[in-house]
Amino acid sequence: MLHPGDPVRKRMAEERLHHQRVLFNQAMIDAVADAIGDCESKSDWSIVAASIESTHTHLLLSYTDRDVDVTAKWLKDQTTKAVHRHTTHAGPIWCKGRWRGFIFDPLMWRNTRRYIERHNERRGQAVRPYPWITEVPDPL
């Protein structure tokens, strides 16, 4: 859900669309969640916070030596395959490109984690609704 009155974010989102916008239904959200959990179990990084919504997804990953762009592409590929396997949706599910950032400030890390957790609370879920979310202490 876009924030009302935020034309810049709306324009930026529309510019990244190269195919019809996809709204996840619950089956798609479940397939994405299962695929992310499977990816996390095969990786050297952990997911510290996650929110999978009908219009977008947030993930906060722990540090890894792996290339973040390769990791993001792998997650997108695996979640797309899972949606195709477990639902009737056959087209793309993610927009072109990606947004990712790097957090080096402990306060920003805590704020980002809390921002993602509030997304879950807003939908009436637990702050950590998936079993693969790793409980790690905030950096000092």
- What confidence tens digit (pLDDT) does each residue in 60-82 have? 998 888 888 889 899 999 999 99
Angle at 52 between CA 9 and CA 76, to 5 degrees: 85
Whether pLDDT at 96 is above 80: no
Q: Give residue-wise pLDDT tens across range 111-137.
A: 999 999 999 999 999 999 999 999 877
pTM above 0.85, yes or no: no
**CATH number given to 11-122:** 3.30.70
Q: In the numeric block, which tokens belong to residue 119? A: 């997304």
- The reported pLDDT for the residue numbered 98 is 65
CB-based contact 31:79 (threshold 8 Å):
yes
Query: Cα separation of 67 and 50, whole Å?
Result: 20
Provide the 3-class DSSP secondary structure of residue 58: strand
Name the pLDDT band for 102 (thresholds 50, 70, 90).
confident
Whether pLDDT at 28 is above 80: yes
**DSSP letter, residue 5:** T
Q: In the numeric block, which tokens belong to residue 122? A: 């807003």
Whether pLDDT at 3 is above 70: no
